[in-house]
Amino acid sequence: MSQALYRKYRSKSLDEVVGQRHITDILAKAIKAGRISHAYLLTGPRGVGKTSVARILAHEINGLPYSDDSTHLDIIEIDAASNNGVEDVRDLREKVQLAPVSAAKKVYIIDEVHMLSKAAFNALLKTLEEPPEHIVFILATTDADKLPATIISRTQRYGFRAITDEDAVTHLRMIAEAEKIKIDDASLQLIATRGDGSFRDSISLLDQLASLADEKKGITPELIEAALGLAAQKTITDILAAVDARNLSKVATLLKQTEAEGIASSNLAAQLTYEIRNRVIDNPSLLPLLDSLLDVAKSSQPHIKLLTVLGGFATEQKGQKSVALAAPVREVSASIKELSKQATRKKPVEPEQPAKETPSGPPAEFDWKSLIEHTRTHFVALFSVLSKCSHSLEESDLTLYTGNAFYKKKLDDPKYSSHLYESLQAIGSYQLTVHTVPTGAPLKDSQAAAVAAIMGGGEEVSVTATA
């Protein structure tokens, strides 16, 4: 039976580990100097070499040769996913008291250590902190955030990095040449991209495609796209060109075509994201589209979400920067002293705003309490911010004093501002234009305003005397 390529080409020494020199160089020097820690923690994404390095390190600590099939009584591997109970750890604590059979150190490799239960971690804690002289622990995990800080602090931690596409392509080319697999550079790049920083995933994909490839053509981008359910590169280019040309009909047609070909919308969104990421330096206007595409995979109906995202950008007017920049809420930034002066001056004439479609009938007189009550019952998130604001009204300008920059940023957000204008329309005050100010309302009393300016700000309150 043939051996999987990722196992066949697994690193056998620290020098052979690819893409993790910041770790392997340190470990090699420490072993050469005889500085062996009692506990190591290897963290990082899947398929980047954590388990391989753990095994190599266990053998080199003991000066033993290592191969993928080698086993040794004093090197014990434990899968924490299936041995995660407190009883398993108690059994381990008893066994670590036994001396090594023949090696200098007895090494315990605990893979996916974050899967241990809380009780198991507590049981392991003391042993990990003060193990017998002959014991070394090597812990490996893809999710270090789930480890208790008390465990992490008792280990030497080494963070593995995702493999770069360049390193992956170089390594895949070496394997392809050794295995006599015919493949071009474009296909190697596509496999590396789909591997998403994991050597194991990239090599497994190469192994899978090698069995599907035609003897004469070898592995081609078309074969990879067909095998993985990806859209052709031309389709990706055509979709982005249609969005840039504001051709909604073309966008919808291309999406319908990919759906008919059985291409998952999440895969298509991922391909578009990768393509835009490569273009965004030369075309920064693509940044909002890149951000919106990240939500497609989270949607319960990704094909509809993808259509709305691409369609929304395809129907934007040329020169319109983004939905956020087109929001009607305008930013105002000034000190309390400046605002106090401005309040005594006649307001300058505002530039004429584009005509908006308004409800029929005259606008109602503005009622702050009605606005607050409407947001309380319809938009709770907006209510939680708006209820903390004060306001002033001059003609058709409604100024909201948020008290701080955080609440101002909230109200300037397109989601909050659209709900705010919807609420104003609901209470009949659709004619108002909203301004936000990141301070409290300016004080009406001139002396109090002067004192507040000296003190760095203040808020006016009314005090009612009681008998």
Spatial distance between the Cα atoms of 220 and 182, rounded to a whole number of angstroms: 9
Q: What count of Cα atoms within 13 Å lies in the side-chain half-sphere of residue 175? A: 24
Q: If you average pLDDT over each of 87-91, 152-156, 295-299, which comes out highest?
A: 152-156
At 381 the pLDDT is 85
At 329 the pLDDT is 44
Which residues are CB-contacts of 267 (< 8 A; sequence separation ≥ 6)? 228, 229, 230, 231
Is the pLDDT at 143 greater than 60, yes or no? yes
Last residue of a domain, one of 100, 129, 159: 159
pLDDT band at 299 (very low <50, low <70, confident <90, very high): confident
At 342 the pLDDT is 54
CA 91 to chain centre: 39
CB-based contact 37:83 (threshold 8 Å): no
The Cα-based distances of 176 to 147, 194, 195, 280, 296 in angstroms read 38, 17, 16, 32, 35
We report the CATH number of the domain holding residue 197 as 1.10.8.60
- Looking at this protein, which amino acid is placed at residue 371? L
Neighbours of 177 (CB within 10 A): 10
Same domain, 255 and 302: yes
- Looking at this protein, which amino acid is placed at residue 183? I
At 354 the pLDDT is 46
Same domain, 10 and 132: yes
pLDDT band at 375 (very low <50, low <70, confident <90, very high): confident
At 66 the pLDDT is 84
Q: Which residue has the tokens 């301070």?
A: 439
| 137 in any annotated domain | yes
Last residue of a domain, one of 228, 256, 279: 228
Is the pLDDT at 170 greater than 80, yes or no? yes
DSSP three-state, residue 363 = coil
Spatial distance between the Cα atoms of 112 and 83, rounded to a whole number of angstroms: 10
Same domain, 223 and 274: no
Among 158-172, 173-187, 347-361, 433-447, the range scoring the smallest mean pLDDT is 347-361
At 37 the pLDDT is 92
At 129 the pLDDT is 84
Same domain, 420 and 302: no
Of 343 and 189, more confident: 189
For 294-317, the DSSP string reads TTTTTSSSHHHHHHHHHHHHHTSP
DSSP three-state, residue 370 = helix
Residue-range definition of the domain harbouring residue 215: 165-228
| 323 in any annotated domain | no
Same domain, 147 and 169: no
Is the pLDDT at 446 greater than 60, yes or no? no
We report the CATH number of the domain holding residue 57 as 3.40.50.300
At 460 the pLDDT is 54
pLDDT in tens, 255-298: 999 988 888 888 899 889 888 988 888 888 888 888 888 888 88
Same domain, 151 and 201: no
Among 123-127, 348-352, 378-382, the range scoring the smallest mean pLDDT is 348-352
Same domain, 336 and 191: no
| 185 in any annotated domain | yes
Entry pTM? 0.61
Spatial distance between the Cα atoms of 111 and 44, rounded to a whole number of angstroms: 12
Same domain, 70 and 155: yes
Same domain, 152 and 283: no
- Looking at this protein, which amino acid is placed at residue 152? I
Mean pLDDT of the chain: 82
Is the pLDDT at 466 greater than 60, yes or no? no
At 444 the pLDDT is 58
Which residues are CB-contacts of 411 (< 8 A; sequence separation ≥ 6)? 329, 385, 386, 389, 400, 402, 417, 420, 434, 436
Same domain, 30 and 143: yes
pLDDT band at 361 (very low <50, low <70, confident <90, very high): low
Domain count, the chain: 4
Same domain, 196 and 292: no
pLDDT in tens, 327-343: 444 455 555 555 555 54
Among 16-20, 236-240, 348-352, the range scoring the smallest mean pLDDT is 348-352
Is the pLDDT at 356 greater than 50, yes or no? no
Is the pLDDT at 305 greater than 50, yes or no? yes
Is the pLDDT at 247 greater than 70, yes or no? yes
Is the pLDDT at 250 greater than 50, yes or no? yes
At 346 the pLDDT is 45
At 312 the pLDDT is 86
Residues in the chain: 467
Same domain, 387 and 263: no
| 452 in any annotated domain | no
Is the pLDDT at 367 greater than 80, yes or no? yes
pLDDT band at 138 (very low <50, low <70, confident <90, very high): very high
Among 43-52, 67-76, 96-105, 239-248, the range scoring the smallest mean pLDDT is 67-76
What is the average pLDDT across 412-435? 85
Spatial distance between the Cα atoms of 201 and 6, rounded to a whole number of angstroms: 8
What is the average pLDDT across 132-141? 93
| 96 in any annotated domain | yes
What is the average pLDDT across 84-107? 87
Spatial distance between the Cα atoms of 387 and 368, rounded to a whole number of angstroms: 10
Is the pLDDT at 455 greater than 60, yes or no? no
| 458 in any annotated domain | no
Is the pLDDT at 145 greater than 70, yes or no? yes
